[in-house]
Amino acid sequence: MQKNFWIEHSADLTVEAMMLDSKASDLDKEERPEVLSLLPPYEGKSVLELGAGIGRFTGELAKKAGQLIALDFIDSVIKKNESTNGHYKNVKFMCADVTSPDLKISDESLDFIFSNWLLMYLSDKEVEDLAERMVKWLRVGGFIFFRESCFHQSGDSKRKYNPTHYREPRFYTKIFKESHVLDGSGNSFELSFVGCKCIGAYVRNKKNQNQICWIWQKVRSEDDRGFQRFLDNVQYKSSGILRYERVFGQGFVSTGGIDTTKEFVQKLELKPGQKVLDVGCGIGGGDFYMAENFNVDVVGIDLSINMVSFALERAIGLNCSVEFEVADCTKKTYPENSFDVIYSRDTILHIQDKPALFRSFYKWLKPGGKVLISDYCKNTGTPSLEFAEYIKQRGYDLHDVKSYGQMLRDAGFTDVIAEDRTEQFIQVLQRELNAVEKDKDAFIEDFSEEDYNDIVGGWKAKLIRTSSGEQRWGLFIASKN
């Protein structure tokens, strides 16, 4: 069926036919440079391009690669690619089916494997098998980049039938994270997650977050606990996120949900067309609110794969300009003067070097831009042994409200407002706790009694810590002149 589908849609060997979109030429001008900008270094390396098509990316990859194999399973398509890019002497053009056992590529012979819109045309088992073969083909330290349509169709081309699998992003994350291989000596190798984001060109032009790419790197498995950490930290964390959403409200995993979001966002005086960076975006509720109500463009980043996966799911059908990316804000870089607003809710407590992060925020903001942060804080003075143990166990870095504000000033910000909002925090916590307790039976039915007890116990503990004055909640707003 797949071959018949592509024989039909490759009758016209055009960008429009390959991208299955009438506006493909315009999209390609914006999307192709973006995809290329995301790739790991491959200069002088051995590269395999799977599903190379008519060569949208082949020529670009050939300019930097040492050797490039461009592979596609439709003969007329790969011949068109060769007629366009055959002048690159470092490219080998191959007509082959990636799912066929007859495809022979030597183990540990490649530095980089690139594919754009391939896996969504394979069955679940074919994706699983190909992921494992890709790990074998890569040298240690080599990279895989792939991009897929998730959730639903993007292109507007009419199709008699559509064999595409529009999967949830978590399917691909799980398959590739679980790909473990052994070499002849019994050494174990796996893929280390590097990054995942939606393609901005589709968000900007189609308000569509379903074009998603991943980057993985082949590494030696430390031991079996590496895989167990994945099960603990990724696979089973989803239920925890859904529990929080039940408490905070649809789309939210931070204090006060939509109510505090409306109150705080109002202080930003957002204007249409402004660009907002949300650091620790969670499952996207605040981003959707800002984009839908103020017509701003939002980039949401979070270190949690599951958070971003849920955010992408929540974006379906909303038709708003929000991009999501799995990224570490302490390692991420943006050009200077990129954003009008940087927004962060109850996230920076996890960051140990706040001064360095705030200096980055200052660089990333445009002149006149604002930063708004809500965060956990502590009282001045030495914390009790119990509170100190809580901070240590959570890995938090907490400061008193005044010191927090001073760190923003030291980073260059002006007009710094540092407000202690602990009383508001206590009121919100109590309201959330009351709602969960009132909803006890339904909560247990949807989750479990253990989940219910964890949430109620956690909220009561927060109320004790805040009521004693040890744990504080701060709101910080500052400007860049």
Q: What is the pLDDT of residue 10?
A: 60
Q: Would you say 336 and 245 are in contact if contact means Cβ atoms under 8 Å apart?
A: no
User: 180-198: per-residue pLDDT in tens?
Assistant: 899 888 899 999 999 999 9
User: 331-342: per-residue pLDDT in tens?
Assistant: 999 999 999 999
> What three-state secondary structure class fits 29?
helix
The residue ranges of the chain whose pLDDT is under 70 are 1-13, 15-18, 156-161, 223-236
State how far the Cα of 261 lies from the Cα of 345, in Å rounded to an integer: 9
In the Cβ-directed half-sphere of 160, how many Cα atoms lie within 13 Å? Answer: 8
Q: What is the number of other CB atoms lying within 10 angstroms of the CB of residue 282? A: 26
- In the chain the first and final C-alpha atoms are separated, in Å, by 60
Q: What is the pLDDT of residue 156?
A: 67
Q: Would you say 391 and 383 are in contact if contact means Cβ atoms under 8 Å apart?
A: yes
**Angle between helix 237-248 and 449-467 (nearest 10):** 60
Q: What is the pLDDT of residue 229?
A: 55
Q: What is the pLDDT of residue 129?
A: 96
Give the number of residues written for the chain.
Answer: 481
Q: DSSP alpha helices (H): ranges in 165-271?
A: 169-177, 200-206, 224-230, 237-248, 257-266
> What three-state secondary structure class fits 355?
helix
Q: What is the pLDDT of residue 22?
A: 78
Predicted structure pTM score: 0.87
Q: What is the pLDDT of residue 221?
A: 87
Q: What is the pLDDT of residue 417?
A: 98
Q: Would you say 437 and 456 are in contact if contact means Cβ atoms under 8 Å apart?
A: yes
Tell me the C-alpha to C-alpha distance, in Å, between residue 349 and each of 171, 263, 284, 364, 471: 30, 21, 19, 20, 12
Q: Would you say 48 and 42 are in contact if contact means Cβ atoms under 8 Å apart?
A: no
Q: What is the pLDDT of residue 236?
A: 43
Q: What is the pLDDT of residue 235?
A: 42
DSSP letter for each residue of 426-480: HHHHHHHHHHHHHTHHHHHHHS-HHHHHHHHHHHHHHHHHHHTTSEEEEEEEEE-
Q: What is the pLDDT of residue 6?
A: 53
